[in-house]
Each structure stands twice: as structure tokens, then as C-alpha cells.
Chains A and B, each alone.
Chain A
Amino acid sequence: MLDLTYETPAPKVIAGAKHDWELVIGMEVHAQVSSKAKLFSGASTQFGAEPNSNVAFVDAAMPGMLPVINEFCVEQAVRTGLGLNAEIHLKSAFDRKNYFYPDLPQGYQISQLYEPIVGEGEILVDMGPGVARLVRVERIHLEQDAGKSIHDMDPNMSFVDLNRTGVALMEIVSRPDIRGPEEAAAYVTKLRQILRYLGTCDGNMQNGNLRADVNVSICRPGQYEKYMETQDFGHLGTRCEIKNMNSMRFIQAAIEYEARRQIKILEEGGEVVQETRLYDPDKNETRSMRSKEEAHDYRYFPCPDLLPLEIEQAWVDDIKASLPELPDAKKARFMGDYGLTEYDASVLTADTTSAAYFEQVVSACEDGKLAANWVINELFGRLKTDEKDIADSPLSPAQLGGIIRLIKSDTISGKIAKDVFEIAYTSGRDPEEIVETEGLKQVTDTGAIEAALDQIIADNPAQVEKAKVNPKLAGWFVGQVMKATGGKANPKAVNQLVAQKLGS
């Protein structure tokens, strides 16, 4: 495996009216644990069910009902922690975060404030070949999701759907190490990629299974470095938290807007107020939701219904042993074993399905570089046209491998291969059979090529004279031969013969 080294990207600098400003961003990502049952009840987590159909007594906070931890969810949090090279806490504990809201039946959310299950970890955020930001993860804790309040069904009433209530979330909290809107989106992309590799969260942002709270502040160049040296937040600006973002595009737009808003305030001599803000994608602006003064006093305290969560090192070790190859390792291996560029390796390791497809193609054709070219340029392009996912590719890795094998054995040219690809893609037929049946085999018989060339020379004496003066015109004769043979002539043989006959 290659040991890759990366350059740190430059922070985003925004020129204000008076100064340059840098961005400092920290993220709290809420990732729904891929679990069929909720964190503390056996109710289903199925998306899109009838309102209030996935609700256990404890989810509805009926009197006397008690939470019981779902061990599978704990395992997924540990797995995620291990996937982020994080410290796993063998002892953690649950706390209650108290506030009133109709979609929070208990009147508190069970979370882990004081003793989270996962401690310090890190995520390498790729920002293009050779460039990446190492973002520190502060902690991951398990907590309950809230339900959904519905205010637009009736003019006089609000409704509550408790299906989401109690669903397990992992809150993944980063340090303020992200330095620009693009990095923020790349951070979420990379985190989602890792979660999907691990299988601990499906990362579906439309369904709200992955949401981010984004903390944005700005500072003058040089301040961030002081913060990093001392870990003293005093060197940084006052942050605002933009809540509940569920699109990469909106994350970037919201940060961009928020940074400019803060710059304007500071340059006009004002002060940024620490507060929670909401992003409005229609107006592309953030709006104050509540200030620090209005902030809830959550009255956190240890949840007396649950004993501290104690797990065994041996169990953690077992989970560690079962971890899949993760994106960074896979990318390095693709580069090392198959000689791929970092770009190609990144594209192919974006998700496990693509990576697995690619590796099956390689094993069918034994040529990593060609396989990468064909998967990325031809297959992905074709799938995109059809709006299909790699998982639903009509062309199997064996078929694509077969096409590449035919190229490598000089049976067909690269150009013909594209035709074969199209036929195989649409019909599902075997590439060898296609070449055979359609008579697409490359002509390497120099006699036939020579005959065609002689005819062309005889028909075009003026061109021959010109070509003798200007050897670049040889290409015209090659083209004519290819045309005469229906593209099947071996281009190498044609080139050789043309050069020979024209004496250039």
C-alpha cells in the first residue's frame, strides 16, 4: 500500500471592504444509525410509514415506561468510532437533555453529554489530488431523534408524528478545523463515504438520515494558527450555528452567506452575536432562530433510568477485526496495485459498489489502468446518460472485462471496442460473441490492407505527390484505408504500410 502524503489546502479567504478574512468551521453531523429498531425501543425505524405507526409505549412516553438500550446501535457507534481512528470509551453514560416540545414526548432527549461512547478521532478530507485536510473529530455520542411536528395540515391545529421519535442518531462532532465552504461539503462527503463503507448509516440526506449543524466564525489571517498552537478559542471569532442542513449545496451556500454577513457586521464596527440560525434556501440567507440569551437551559443530568454503558475491550476488538477496508486504504491500494492516478483511484473508491465493480473488471481482464479508463470514462458516462446507478448497471464486470481482453489481444481496436461496449450494454450479449457474429475482428492480414492501400494510391496520384513533400498527409491515406476496411484494419499495420509505400 502506498503511504500517501498530502499538502494542506489553503483556507478560503474572503476579501472584505477593509481586510481579508478567513473562515473557521466546525460541524456536528447527525447520522441516523442503520438499525431496524430504535435506540431504546423495539419500534421499527422504517422510513415513510404511516404517521404514528412505528411507536412503542416508551417512544410515546407513556407513564412508567422505561428505555432499554439497543445493543446493535451501540455496536454501530463503536464501529463508526473505529472507522474514524477514534478512541472508544469502554464506559460511557446517558444524560437527559430537558426541553419542552410536542414532538419530544418525554420532555427530554436521552443523549450523552458528559461521557460519550467515542472520543478523539480524525477524518482526512480530500480536496483534490495531493491535497487534503485532516479534520479532528472531538467525539461521537449516541442520542435519540425527536419526532416531527406538522403545522401545515390544518389552519387551527398542529399535528405530531412520533415515527422518528427515539430513532438512534450518532452525533459526530468535529473540531473547528474546516476552513472553507468547499471543505465543509467535502468533509460531509468524506464522512458519509466512510459511514457507508462501514454500513453504520445509509447517508441518505433527502430522508434526513444525515444532517449537519454548521458552526461558522471568521477571523483575520494568522489568528487560526494562534488557535491551533494554543487551542485557545479566544483567538477565533464568535461563532453562529446554522442548524439542520441536509444538502451539500446548501451547506456551501449557507456558509458563504454567513461568513459575508459576519464580515459586514465586523467591518461596520459591530459584534457578532453567538446564536442559532436557520438557512433559507429560497432567499439564500440565514436568519436568527434564537440568541444565546434565549437559548434553552437544557438542565442536563445523568439519566437515572439507564445504568452506565459498559462494553468489553474484547468486543471492541472483534468489531475492529470485522471492519471493511476503508476509503483511504482502498484508494492507496488501487494506486499501488493497479498503478492508478490518485484521481482515478478516488473516483473508483467513492463507494464500495464502484470499487467492487472495478476490481471484478480487473480480475476479468488483468489490466488495472485499462479497467479504470473503461469504468470511469465509458461505463460511468453511459450510466449517467441513463440515470442509472452502478449497482443497476446492465453491463456486467465480466462483459466489460471481456471487451478489454479483446482490446489487449489486438482482436479489436479501441474504436471498435466502443461499438462492442454499446451492443453489450444494450443487449447483454457476450463481447466475444458480438465481435464474432458482427464480424468486427480487426484485420491484421497485411495482404488485404495492402490491396486496399494500393487501390487508394492508384486512385489518388495527386495526393501521393503531395504526401511525398508533406509527410503529414500520410494520415489521409491511413484514414482512407480504415474507411475502406470498415474500421477493422489494425491501425498499427496500416500506419506501417502507408509509411512504406509512400517512402516517407
Chain B
Amino acid sequence: MAELNGMTIAAARDALRKGDVTSVELTEACLTAVEGAGALNAFVHHTPEIARAQAAAADARIKAGDAPAMCGIPLGIKDLFCTKGVPSQAASRILEGFKPEYESTVSGKLFDAGAVMLGKLNMDEFAMGSSNETSVYGNAVNPWRRGNDEAALTPGGSSGGSASAVAADLCLAATGTDTGGSIRQPAAFTGITGIKPTYGRCSRWGIVAFASSLDQAGPMTKDVRDAAIMLSAMCGHDPKDSTSADIPVPDFEAMLTGDIKGKKIGIPKEYRMDGMPDEIESLWQDGIAMMRDAGAEIVDISLPHTKYALPAYYVIAPAEASSNLARYDGVRYGHRAKLSHGDGITEMYEKTRAEGFGHEVQRRVMVGTYVLSAGFYDAYYNRARRVRTLIKKDFEDVFAQGIDAILTPATPSAAFGLGEMSDADPVAMYLNDVFTVTVNLAGLPGVAVPAGLDKQGLPLGLQLIGRPWEEGDLLNCAYALEQAAGFVAKPGKWW
């Protein structure tokens, strides 16, 4: 047996049920791994007492024969999730000291199923970023390195801490959230699996909002089976979230047959971007071949409005964010700036928000405020909404043609070096989301699966996009791809 913290959820579940291992043992192994991984800066709040108590309770449940799949599984929770009594800061200074009185629906469902919380995971501030460098805690670090080069790489973002922690076996799996690619891009950068389910699958209640019409929670796991197991435990209707869908949650794991014979896999020509590295192109071709070899029918498709997705996304997401983040005003909780004599309410707002929000968040709040303002609303926000409708229709059209899933690269590159993009135009960073934002705009499920290594030994991922509410089928396609790709590489431990 591998090290306990290196186990998959499925293996751990089976071992727990057989009595080969206890949750307490799993949890201790993970806590030790977390302790030794300070250099990764993945965990930003440690909750060993909670973890040990939950593990003991899980062991009792397993003994009593009442053990859901997630029972006793040690997890990391992204800092965007409100966890009762535990700091939940969205990696922002403005939520300094904030400990919610409530538990997010998704983390609550996992804990009700017996999962164990090791702590809170690093991320880009308010989930705004693609490199985890906008975090108030400092960036998380990718456990992967380029060959023998010691340069620290980004784990991606915004769920960078989650990706780093899972890839480095600090936990068995982690929660992530994905507004424009924040699960799939870091999963691809760290050689793990991450799925963003259909919008409305997971309750948003208790997750700090970035862009409400795009945000979705999802699992970040070591393989596709784990993603299926954990997703089943995370999703389900929540009357506290009006956008949560009241439709049954199937047993996604049971749908993993690996049989995709006759499935129609669409290859969208618009995802072949100018200047895309050869390695990404060849990975994509490999993926196409693997799917074909597995019996799928490969179909060239067109998603004609793809090129407008990124600009539309960077109008809609900041617009919603500018409104969602208005509540961080220093009045009721979190950071409040120290005021000078004579300062009034306006100074309190300005100083608090200037101190509390990092630059990227400020940039997006300003962009969002601008695109919603009188005189610009139609030219930006309304036009972006119309583009969004067209992008959604692009997907509906190809699904209506009988396409079962769409295969694309997950990211336009492998993980880049921390600090490498610091002088770049912010738009260069936004390009990281080019393959993933369409999926959020259309509300579809999308999964990133590791499919190979680049010349420098860094993992690369492919993305599969599915029909709405058909995460089971989508995961099965991902499972077939995973089987064919046979990606087993792990980062060498240097931390």
C-alpha cells in the first residue's frame, strides 16, 4: 500500500470499510504531510483538532456500518467556502478575522457524509486570478518543477491551494470553485482531475460569491473515479440557493464503465488558437486518437462565437463581482481601516476597501463598475449578455446534432513560473481562461483530465465538455480518456 495520504478516495473508502485502515490513521498521515509542506503554502488555516474529532467520529460510523463513500476521507477546503467557526477569508485582507457562524451547503454535505477537514486552502483573492498570486497569504506553489530547475511554478488559480495540496498528497481530495476555469486550469497545471459541474448542480449557499451567474463548486481529485464519488456527495438541490436545480443526483461512480463506443466527440475548430504551443496541439491530437481508439466517433464541429467568450466573460464576471463585493465595506465584519479625525463614511469606505482589496480585485471591481454605469451598460454589459446567449446557443446546436462531449485542451500552456507574468498586461493572464470560460458562460459541465507531460516534465490536461446535467456521461468519457492516457506521473518531493 502506498503512503496513506497518497491514497485515492476510492481506495481509502474500500480500505476503511474493510478495516484495513482507520480514518484517524489517514488523517494523521495527511496532517503530517501538511505539516511538512509549508513550502507549498497550500494550507492557510490548519484545523487539526477538527480533523481529529471528525476522523474519530467517522471511524465510529464506519464501525457501525453507516459509512457513506466520503466517510473518513481527509479533505482540504478552499478558503472561499464558509466553514463554521473556522476562518473563511476568500484569501482577502478585507475578511481578516472573519469566522462565519454557518457552514456552506457543500462543505456541510461533505462533513455530514463523514468527510474530515484538514484545513482551508490557498486561492487567488476572491477567486480572481489564474496563478494564486493574488492571495493575501502569498501564492501557493506547484509541487511540480521543470526537470531539475528549482524555479517555483504556479499551481494555477484560483483553486491553486487545492490543486497543490491534492497533487502533493497533502489530502486525498479538495473542494474547488470554478467561475472561469478555476478548477480546471489548476487541475491541468498540477496533473490532477477537476470537474466543474453544470451551473445549479452544487449549491452556492455559503460560498463567498465572485460572479454569481458563473460560480460553481466542484471536486479536485487524484483521478476521475474520485471526482465522481466526491461530486455525488457535493451536489443536490438546496432551497437556500434559488439557482440550485431540483433534479436528482445520480450515482456518478456507477456510470464509469469506460465504454464510450459510438459516443460522438466533438472537436471544435475555434479552439485551435493562434500561437498555441505545439505541445498543446499534439496533446490534443493524442487525446483525439485515444478517444477514437476507445471506439468514439470523432466529429469536427464549430462553436462560432468562441472568440467573443473571453471578452464577454471579462465584462460579466467583473460586473457581478463589483456588486457582490460591495458588502465588504468595513461596517459589519472583516477589516476596517483606521480612520483619521474628521473622516466620514466615504473615507471609511475608501480607506477600508483600498487597504482590504488587492490590486487584481480592485481592478475587477473598477472594470465591473464601469461596464454597469449609465451610458456604458448597453455597450458592455448588455452586449456581453447577448454574446453569452450566442455562446450558449453554439453549444446547444452541436448537442442537438448528437454530439455527446467536446474535447479541447484545458489550458494554452503548462504551469508557468511564479512571478513570470507579474509585468505582463493583465489580459495576458486572462488568456489562461480561454478554453474554460465558454463552459461557465454556457453553464455546462467541464472536466480537466491529466493526459501527458510536456518536454520539461510538466503535466498537461485535456478538457471534456458535456451536456447539461449529464456529468455521469461526461465523467465516463473522462474515465475512458484517463484509462487511455495512463497518466501516473507524480511530482518528485522537494518540499
Contacts and interface: CB of A to CB of B under 8 A. Distances in A.
Interface of A: 57, 60-69, 96, 98, 100-102, 105-108, 158, 160, 297, 299-301, 304-307
Given A63-B327, A100-B329, A68 B213 contact: no
B26 interface: no
A63 B415 CA distance: 31
A422 B104 CA distance: 67
B372 A299 contact: yes
A201 to B, nearest CB: 25
25 contacts: A63-B100, A64-B209, A65-B206, A66-B204, A66-B205, A66-B240, A67-B242, A68-B239, A68-B241, A68-B242, A96-B323, A98-B322, A98-B323, A98-B372, A102-B331, A105-B331, A105-B332, A107-B326, A107-B329, A158-B345, A297-B373, A301-B319, A301-B323, A301-B372, A304-B320
A233 to B, nearest CB: 19
Given A64-B81, A64-B206, A66-B242, 8 more contacts: A62-B333, A64-B82, A66-B205, A66-B240, A67-B242, A100-B349, A102-B345, A107-B325
B230 interface: no
B243 interface: yes
Nearest to B244: A66
Given A98-B372, A307-B243, A64 B323 contact: no
Nearest to B214: A304
A107 B209 contact: no
Contacts of B374: 297, 299
A108 B242 contact: no
Interface in B321-348: 322-323, 325-327, 329, 331-333, 345
B242 A69 contact: yes
8 tightest CB-CB pairs across the interface, nearest first?
A: A107-B326, A304-B212, A299-B372, A304-B213, A61-B327, A64-B206, A63-B208, A64-B82
Q: Which of A63, A300, A306, A307 has the most CB of B within 10 A?
A: A63
A305 B242 contact: yes
A305 B243 contact: yes
Given A57-B101, A301-B377, A106 B327 contact: yes
Q: Which of A57, A98, A101, A301 has the most CB of B within 10 A?
A: A301
Contacts of B90: 63
Contact of A68 (B240, B320, B327, B331): B240
Nearest to A101: B345
A413 to B, nearest CB: 69
Contacts of A69: 242
Contacts of A107: 323, 325-327, 329
Contacts of B395: none
A98 B369 CA distance: 10
Interface string B193-208: 0000000000011111
B373 A306 contact: no
Contact of A105 (B240, B327, B373, B381): B327
B71 to A, nearest CB: 25
A380 B404 CA distance: 77
Interface in B224-258: 239-243
B211 interface: yes
Interface string B340-378: 000001000100000000000000000001001110010
A300 B371 CA distance: 11
Nearest to B334: A63
A305 B327 contact: no
A306 B205 contact: no
B441 to A, nearest CB: 13
B243 A106 contact: no
A304 B100 CA distance: 23
A41 to B, nearest CB: 10
Contacts of B349: 100
Q: Which of A101, A160, A299 has the most CB of B within 10 A?
A: A299
Q: Which of B90, B241, B326 has the most CB of A within 10 A?
A: B326
Nearest to B200: A307
A107 B205 CA distance: 19
Contacts of B212: 304-305
Q: Which of B81, B82, B239, B242 has the most CB of A within 10 A?
A: B242
A106 B326 contact: yes
A100 B377 contact: no
Nearest to B208: A63
A299 B102 CA distance: 31
Contacts of A158: 345
B305 to A, nearest CB: 21
A304 B240 contact: no
Given A96-B323, A307-B243, A64 B332 contact: no
B101 A66 contact: no
A307 B208 contact: no
Nearest to B98: A63
Nearest to B209: A64
Contacts of B377: 299, 301
A105 B101 CA distance: 17
A107 B209 CA distance: 14
A98 B325 CA distance: 11
B238 to A, nearest CB: 9
Q: Which of A64, A96, A160, A300 has the most CB of B within 10 A?
A: A64
A87 B391 CA distance: 34
B95 interface: yes
Contacts of B164: none
B398 to A, nearest CB: 26
A301 B318 CA distance: 13
Contact of B204 (A57, A64, A160, A306): A64
Contacts of B319: 301
B463 interface: no
Nearest to B212: A304
A158 B102 CA distance: 28
A100 B326 contact: yes
Nearest to A299: B372
A299 B323 contact: yes
Nearest to B239: A68
Contact of B205 (A64, A102, A105): A64
Contact of A66 (B241, B327, B331): B241
A304 B209 CA distance: 11
Contacts of A63: 82, 88, 90, 95, 98, 100, 208-209, 327
Contacts of B333: 62
Contacts of A300: 372
Interface in B51-86: 81-82
A66 B104 CA distance: 11
Contacts of A297: 373-374
Contact of A301 (B102, B208, B381): B381
A68 B333 CA distance: 23
Contacts of A62: 100-102, 333
A301 to B, nearest CB: 6
A207 B97 CA distance: 38
A64 B373 contact: no
A328 B307 CA distance: 60
A65 B205 contact: yes
A292 to B, nearest CB: 11
A69 B213 CA distance: 17
A358 B94 CA distance: 63
Interface string B401-412: 000000000000
